[in-house]
Amino acid sequence: MSLREALASGMFVVTSEVGPPKGTNVGPALEEAEHLRGLVDAINVTDLQAAAMRLGSLATCHLLAERGLEPVLQVVCRDRNRLALQSDLLSAWVLGIRNVLCLTGDYPSLGDHKGAMPVYDLDSVQLLAAAQGLNEGHDLAGNELDGKPDFLLGCVVTPGGNPVEAQVMKLEKKVAAGARFVQTQAVYDVEQLARFMDRVAHLEVPMLAGIVLLKSAGMAKYMNNNVAGVSVPDGLIERMATTDNKAATSIEIAAELIGGLRKYCQGVHLMPLGWDKHVPAVLAAAGLR
């Protein structure tokens, strides 16, 4: 079943993600994706995540599609202008990629090529509009396409953003521009997500709540200090700090979160950050698969 069909069916949708390697050794990323086969409805492939130069999302998505997996091409606005972005989207379509997630992208100075030129020729709303235009058979300049894609377009939102009203305002624009599903930044506070869902209910777009697997107390503290809009409560940090089995506790926490979140959203987006092998256990513990 495609992601489009899964979302349309009304079922509780699960997506996860893999990150391409720093180099050409794509084997481990494909293996991570294999852990997810049959368990998730789609697999995001990150686009130079954290602004670090890597193998591309497009090539990795193509390899997943070839293997019968359902990839979601993440596209950020940081590295390409409107010519390259639109061209890459057309390339993605002919390479068998059907789902696209449009994001702004972390600033270059947060990554490993700090002096790189930040492009941001389009912002995420404009990128969605450009992709929707391709779906409708024309490019941003209004020229007609010879053969058009039919992407399922998605976007992201940060329920813990400050001010959250500005996030809602931008999400409204994204949906108006063509987004048909939403994946959220990592959420650790069920009440916060519930409040946020109330604010965006009028958009009538499937929302998948983001779950980042905690790997350690240190990682949780790092996210609290460095990742905007993410707040891991002290209680969870304490559990990660005192456990004898980090993976087991991480799985337990993620499953509890999914249990709490599921009545408020249409699915979850798991961000295992390399712990893809634990995703089956998380889904089993959450009673999802």
Total binding residues for other proteins by CB under 8 A? Answer: 38
Closer to other proteins by Cβ: residue 76 or 197: 76
Are 271 and 223 a contacting pair, CB within 8 Å?
no
The verdict on 123 binding other proteins (CB under 8 A) reads yes
Give the tokens for residue 46: 């990150």
Write out the H or E segment, with its range, that includes residue 165.
Answer: helix 164-177
Q: Which stretch binds other proteins (CB under 8 A): 12-20, 27-35, 118-126, 269-277?
A: 118-126
Q: Binding to other proteins (CB under 8 A): which residues in 75-104? A: 77-78, 82, 104
Burial 253-279 (b: 16+ CB within 10 A, else e): bbbebbebbbebbbbbbbbbbebbebb
The verdict on 34 binding other proteins (CB under 8 A) reads no
Closer to other proteins by Cβ: residue 121 or 252: 121
SS3 call for 102: strand
Q: Which of 28, 118, 218, 274 binds other proteins (CB under 8 A)?
A: 118
Among 137, 139, 206, which Cα is nearest to 171's? 206
Are 213 and 256 a contacting pair, CB within 8 Å?
no
Residue 72 CA to residue 154 CA, distance in Å, equals 9
SS3 call for 71: strand
The verdict on 222 binding other proteins (CB under 8 A) reads no
Q: Binding to other proteins (CB under 8 A): which residues in 186-215? A: none
Q: Which stretch binds other proteins (CB under 8 A): 93-101, 171-179, 234-242, 270-278?
A: 171-179
Closer to other proteins by Cβ: residue 146 or 191: 191
Are 155 and 127 a contacting pair, CB within 8 Å?
no
Among 204, 196, 165, 199, which Cα is nearest to 261's? 196
CB of 227 to other proteins, least distance (A): 8
- Which positions lie near other proteins, rule CB under 8 A? 77-78, 82, 104, 106-107, 109-110, 118, 120-126, 129, 140, 156-158, 160-163, 165-167, 169-170, 172-173, 176-177, 185, 228-229, 231
